[in-house]
Structure 1
Amino acid sequence: MEPQKEVNQDYSVKQQNKWQMPDTYVILFFVLLLGFLATYVLPSGLFERETIDGVERVIPNTYHGTDTAPLGFFDFFYAIQMGMVESADIIFLVLFTGGMFEIIERSGALNGAIHRAVHITRGNEFWLIAIVSAIFALTGAVGAVANAVIAFVMVGVIIARTLKLDPIVAVAITFGANFAGFSVGFINPYTVGIAQDIAGLPLFSGMVLRIIVFLVILASLIWYTWRYTKKLLKDPSKSFAGAYGDDEDGNEQELNAPFTTRHKLLLIFVGLSLLFFVYGSIQLKWTINHMSAFFVFIAIGAGIIAGMHYNKLAETFLSGTRKLVYGAMVVGLARSVIVVLENGQILDTIVYGIAVPLEHFPPAVAAIGMFISNGVLNFLVNSGSGQAMIAMPMLAPLADMVGVTRQVAVQAYQFGDGLTNLIFPTSGILMASLAVANLSWTKWLKWIMPLFFIWLAIAVITLVTGVLINWGPF
């Protein structure tokens, strides 16, 4: 038996030495390290800025070098702490989202409602996938849900679990669909609205072409997701991330629990609350802190309607937050990359280096270059409105110089910002959404990349078409 033991030990060593894809934290740590080292290589510099109507904007052609010294050894670790602090609002949004949905899920109301929907569409699961995807794509296109999509990923999880699918489908039909719509955003006030205002274009002009592109992108998402879903329905072993089974959090008995009057009242309360949540986000200009606070309100209200004892309500809420600690902390580490670049004053240097070469290209190539440069910029500044305020003051005059209409420049910014949110690990919303679904970034990337390249092709065709038709204000 001794030789067999040696063989087993040998096999164990080989397994330990086998290369594995780095954890998300490891990847972000090395990105942070590269940013830190870049402060020793790139010259520091800043654009001058001005504040108009409470909005800070970059002033074009004002970039100048500074004498800022490279960051010190301790500054590297200090950036991690500051990334956590500066992302505290999103971190707690993630945690409170987990607590709220844990209460709703344990009540059995959401499982019951989704199971009813699945039962109605049994044999026609395509329509469930298509309708849910279309709803979330539309909310992204009109700006109703962006950061708040984190709160809705759990709906996708329950749908995927009920159908015995996997976390990839859960994220695709919620977060993926939302940012597919966000990348076009034909009436999104936070992206196209701000960008067109800076570019001096009529608000929400150029909508017809954007709606056409939105429908094409949505159709490709539904096709791609359904193609994968069909494989899982036939053979769960085809999953990239491990399909949900009967041993998951919600077993078959729970999923078939009766849909009671109490469940209906709870979901009516949650539904009305979320509608007000959308209203507050758009009309009342709620910040992420307001959103997080409102999730606590929904959690308490749902717990009371569900008949939970106050101790049980508190325990359930905290249990939900614990499940999302991993993803919440990832948000902070992603932000620390920006902290390093800002503290080393090389962020504006990178922006300047991306923008200047575009002046020397033909119009169609320059438009594609704007798209690519904004995609690169989104790795550093993954706020749609924030990127608009940084990029558009430079892209608008640049568009005039290279013979590209400002409407094309606006769409180049939108594609660069929106599409890359689906793949960049520095996007806190992506990492938080993956955490809600318990899906690793590397597995998501493996699945989404073919679709991402399809969307890149659609984006390029759209921009070239815009140049050829001289896409103007209307």
Structure 2
Amino acid sequence: MELEKVTTKKRMNWGIPDAYVILFAILAFISILTYIIPAGEFTREKVDGITMVVPNSYEQVNSSPASLMDVFLAIQEGMISSAPLIFLVLIIGGAFAVIESTGAIDALILKTIEKTQNKELLLITVVSILFSVFGALGIIVNAVIAFIPIGIILARSMKLDAIVGVSIIYLGAYAGFNTAFLDPLTTGTAQQIAQLPLFSGIGFRVIIYITILISTIAYVAYYAKKIKNDPSKSVLGKKPFPKIEDKQQLNKDISITRLHKLVLLWLVVGIGIYVFGVFQYKWSLNEMAAIFLIIAAGTAIIAKMSPNKLVTEFFNGAKGLVYGAMIIGMARSIVVILEDGRILDTVVQGMANVMTPFTSVVGALVMFVANLLFNILVSSGSGQAVIVMPIMTPLADLMEIPRQVAVQAYKMGDGFTNTITPTSGILMANLAIAGISWTKWIRFMFPLLLIWIIIGAIFLTAGVFMNWGPF
């Protein structure tokens, strides 16, 4: 008896690359560049506690290309250096799971829906404005991750999609962060390096902020209306909420009880204490994580939740965000290779060489574009300020560009491309929480990014012509 052997060739289905695959590909590419781009470093010095690059101090140094082992070590080092943000994401996820287990969030959302029934534009506008104010103050740029689940619930209640849910929270915050007219870490640091009075030029920046905010709300509202009329036009296709099962719907019978009000009040008090601590005591991510642990514990006490149930709910919530949390460290690994390979300063020096020959207006726009591109590699706002502003400040003087314009070119360059770069741990975490692939997000976000860039270019040109000074 003969057995027939049937060989079946299966085609490998690549599909849309996962965010981790994209980031690892970038990491590998940057590692190869360490063999091609000459290594170099600027001299750095500490001025008033800030490490600054000394202009015209760039020198080539011995090459330090990344080995195969270095590539994988960078992932570990990226995870370690991003630990505060990674654990913040997990803790926030756990804390919100505890809060949601009381039914307070569902009750609040239902009440909001009731008040804004058939008024999607009003809801999108109110939420976006609220988060843009926080973004302009620089107090919610990282913490925006905590509010993405609420955005998703709001979008689901309006029968829209996860893109809208992320947009009203994340893009709302970044509409403010793009100018960050009262953010001490980005705008404040850049102005200090450029030797401008702290938060000077705020009037013109507020005008820029309002323009960017209006364009953002209009774009999101247009998209929302389009998919409301025809759900098939959603960027996400047939699964408008990739991480939400159909059975996960809000209970229509829920009403706001005294317990819900106490839990929500406790949440507001906790966040309020953190905001106070940011301004009064310079609190950062670690303090935010501690506050959310206190919020979770306090919620359990208010709801008379047993310790075991608190732990169960908390870790169920944290478990759901492991993917999004770990991706932050993966993104950081790319910067680790740039720094350890000693090519980061070479990239900055190349930017300086490109910008020197241009006239004032063109030079300001080149600064803007250069920061847009550089931010794709280094998405840390304050980190980019420390690296770029010591170079751009003397360049601005040489090219007769007002220093305020140089600061704004950096700030908008930093803010705009944060919303698309896969090296931004915040972006990738937000998308992971919502179940949105990076490629689909780009399809939605790219037109708005172009609108922002055009607005930014117009205001920078106006700033040069009006000789935007320190006022």
* Counterpart in the other structure of 1:3: none
Task: Choose the corresponding residue for 2:444, options 427, 443, 447.
Answer: 447
Distance 1:106 1:234, change over 3 A: farther
Looking at structure 2, the residues matched to 316 and 97 of structure 1 have their Cα atoms a distance apart, in angstroms, of 12
Whether the 8 Å contact between 1:162 and 1:255 is mirrored in structure 2 is no
Looking at structure 2, the residues matched to 250 and 355 of structure 1 have their Cα atoms a distance apart, in angstroms, of 53
Amino acid at match of 2:73: Y
Instruction: Report the CA distance between 1:178 and its aligned residue.
Output: 0.6
Whether the 8 Å contact between 1:97 and 1:292 is mirrored in structure 2 is yes
Looking at structure 2, the residues matched to 320 and 384 of structure 1 have their Cα atoms a distance apart, in angstroms, of 29
Task: Choose the corresponding residue for 2:258, options 257, 261, 275.
Answer: 261
Task: Choose the corresponding residue for 1:137, options 132, 137, 141.
Answer: 132
* Counterpart in the other structure of 1:148: 143
1:35 aligns with 2:33: no
Looking at structure 2, the residues matched to 73 and 247 of structure 1 have their Cα atoms a distance apart, in angstroms, of 41
Looking at structure 1, the residues matched to 69 and 398 of structure 2 have their Cα atoms a distance apart, in angstroms, of 44
* Counterpart in the other structure of 1:365: 362
Whether the 8 Å contact between 2:331 and 2:425 is mirrored in structure 1 is yes
Which ranges in structure 2 are unaligned for 5 or more consecutive residues?
A: 1-5
Whether the 8 Å contact between 2:109 and 2:153 is mirrored in structure 1 is yes
* Counterpart in the other structure of 2:348: 351
Looking at structure 1, the residues matched to 253 and 375 of structure 2 have their Cα atoms a distance apart, in angstroms, of 44
Looking at structure 1, the residues matched to 111 and 354 of structure 2 have their Cα atoms a distance apart, in angstroms, of 56
Whether the 8 Å contact between 1:140 and 1:181 is mirrored in structure 2 is yes
Within 5 Å, give how 1:55-74 maps onto structure 2: 55-74=50-69
1:116-135 per-residue CA deviation (whole Å, 9 max, x = no partner) reads 01111102121111000001
Instruction: Report the CA distance between 1:187 and its aligned residue.
Output: 1.6
* Counterpart in the other structure of 2:337: 340
**RMSD over aligned Cα, in angstroms?**
1.9
Task: Choose the corresponding residue for 1:421, options 418, 436, 452.
Answer: 418
TM-score, reference length from structure 1: 0.94
Distance 1:201 1:307, change over 3 A: same
**After TM superposition, which residue ranges in structure 1, 4 or more long, deviate above 4 angstroms?**
16-19, 244-247
Secondary structure in 2 matching 1:205: coil
Looking at structure 1, the residues matched to 92 and 429 of structure 2 have their Cα atoms a distance apart, in angstroms, of 10
Instruction: Report the CA distance between 1:17 and its aligned residue.
Output: 4.9
Whether the 8 Å contact between 2:241 and 2:434 is mirrored in structure 1 is no
* Counterpart in the other structure of 1:128: 123
- Counting aligned pairs with the same residue, the percent is 47
Higher helix share: 1
Secondary structure in 2 matching 1:57: strand
Whether the 8 Å contact between 2:368 and 2:409 is mirrored in structure 1 is yes
* Counterpart in the other structure of 1:251: 249
Secondary structure in 2 matching 1:237: helix
Looking at structure 2, the residues matched to 236 and 126 of structure 1 have their Cα atoms a distance apart, in angstroms, of 17
1:294-336 per-residue CA deviation (whole Å, 9 max, x = no partner) reads 2111111112222322111111111111111111111111111
Secondary structure in 2 matching 1:51: strand
* Counterpart in the other structure of 1:307: 304
1:212-258 per-residue CA deviation (whole Å, 9 max, x = no partner) reads 11111111111111111123333333322232499546424x25412
* Counterpart in the other structure of 1:319: 316
The number of equivalent residue pairs is 463
1:192 aligns with 2:157: no
Which ranges in structure 1 are unaligned for 5 or more consecutive residues?
A: 1-5
* Counterpart in the other structure of 2:3: none
Looking at structure 2, the residues matched to 161 and 123 of structure 1 have their Cα atoms a distance apart, in angstroms, of 14
Amino acid at match of 1:446: R
Amino acid at match of 1:117: T
Whether the 8 Å contact between 2:40 and 2:342 is mirrored in structure 1 is yes
Whether the 8 Å contact between 1:164 and 1:244 is mirrored in structure 2 is no
Looking at structure 2, the residues matched to 405 and 314 of structure 1 have their Cα atoms a distance apart, in angstroms, of 55
Instruction: Report the CA distance between 1:463 and its aligned residue.
Output: 0.8
Instruction: Report the CA distance between 1:142 and its aligned residue.
Output: 1.8
